[in-house]
Amino acid sequence: MAVNPWFSQWNYHLLQIFFRWVPHTAFADKYCDLFILDPLLSTWIFAACFYRFWTKDDEQTARRRQCLVQAVVAFGVAVVVTLLLRPWIHWPAPVLNPNFQPLFPRYLWGDGSENCFPSHSTLAYFMIAAGFWPLHRRLSALLAAMAFCFVSLPRVYAGGHYPIDVLFSCVLGILTLVAVWTLPASFTDRTLPTEGNFQGVAWDLVFFLWVFELGEGFRGTGLLLRAAQRLLWRNLSF
């Protein structure tokens, strides 16, 4: 496994500047953990905005839903891209990297993922924020800033991600959104739910699960994927 991320010196220098302005203290680490672990402080605002824009009933309902579906489709495509890249591009979190560990308190060493590229949390919430751009540009910019401050920075501060992980996620999110926005409208129209039948009920359930997972930071989805992965490996080992 590669030890250092792309642009290693740039990442190291940027982290040095960051920690010079916001040094590690017990108080700062505590509130950083709160933003990471408590979705009410970081991610539920995205779910609330998504729910509000989806359920508002007026003459713009169809257009709003189409834009929101485009953001979700783009997010799904971007996740697939990252999963295809992870076997070939990977590096351990800074707190597992001997070259970066001196930047962090010793009690953080040993935490983090063996493969932290890219930042999927940033990818999810930055893309949802950017997806509001055609609907409400001020809200989109505000949510993007919140994704950076309350989702990305705490994870970088705790040593879970490098700056390049966050930057790559943002660039990939923008490129994927632009690609989906250029698709014919009929492509996303087919994904819009219908009401008053079984399909409509199924879509309501999917919508509820999506908003809940969006608010909870996709913790449930992560647990299910890890369980499925363990089950798959167990079956393959027989």
pLDDT tens digits, one per residue of 32-50: 999 999 998 899 999 999 9
CA angle 73, 112, 33 (to 5 degrees): 85
**Model pLDDT, residue 76:** 93
Those residues whose C-beta lies under 8 Å from the C-beta of residue 45, and which sit 6 or more positions away, are: 143, 146
At 92, is the pLDDT very low, low, confident or very high (cuts 50, 70, 90)?
Answer: very high
Identify whether 37 is part of a domain: yes
| Residue 9 counted as domain residue | no
Total structural domains within the chain: 1
**pLDDT confidence of residue 1:** 46
Hey, how many other C-beta atoms are within 10 angstroms of the C-beta on 133?
18
pLDDT at 144: 97
Task: Output the domain CATH number for residue 37.
Answer: 1.20.144
Domain assignment present for residue 16? The answer is no
On whether the CB atoms of residues 95 and 116 are closer than 8 A, the answer is no
Instruction: Tell me whether residue 12 is in a domain.
Output: no
Tell me, yes or no, whether 144 lies in a domain. yes
CA angle centred on 15, ends 14 and 18, rounded to 5°: 90
How far, in Å, CA of 89 to CA of 118, rounded?
9
- Chain segment 62-75, per-residue pLDDT in tens: 899 999 999 999 99
Q: Which domain holds residue 201?
A: 23-237
Query: Is residue 38 assigned to a domain?
Result: yes
Query: In terms of pTM, does the model score above 0.75?
Result: yes
State the CB neighbour count (10 A cutoff) for residue 203: 16
CA distances from 191 to 63, 114, 181 (A): 13, 36, 14
The residues, any chain, with a CB within 8 Å of residue 160's CB and separated by 6 or more, are 93, 94, 95, 111, 112, 113, 116
* Residues 121-174: tens digit of each pLDDT: 999 999 999 999 999 999 999 999 999 999 999 999 999 999 999 999 999 999
Identify the band that residue 227 occupies on the pLDDT scale cut at 50, 70 and 90: low
pLDDT (tens digit, 9 = 90+) per residue, 167-222? 999 999 999 999 999 987 655 555 555 555 556 667 778 888 899 999 998 887 76
Distance CA 155, CA 148 (A): 10
- In the chain, the amino acid numbered 80 is V
Please give the pLDDT value at position 110: 86
Buried b (16+ CB within 10 A) or exposed e, 208-238: eebbebbbebbeeeeeeeeeeeeeeeeeeee
**Residue 64 belongs to a domain:** yes
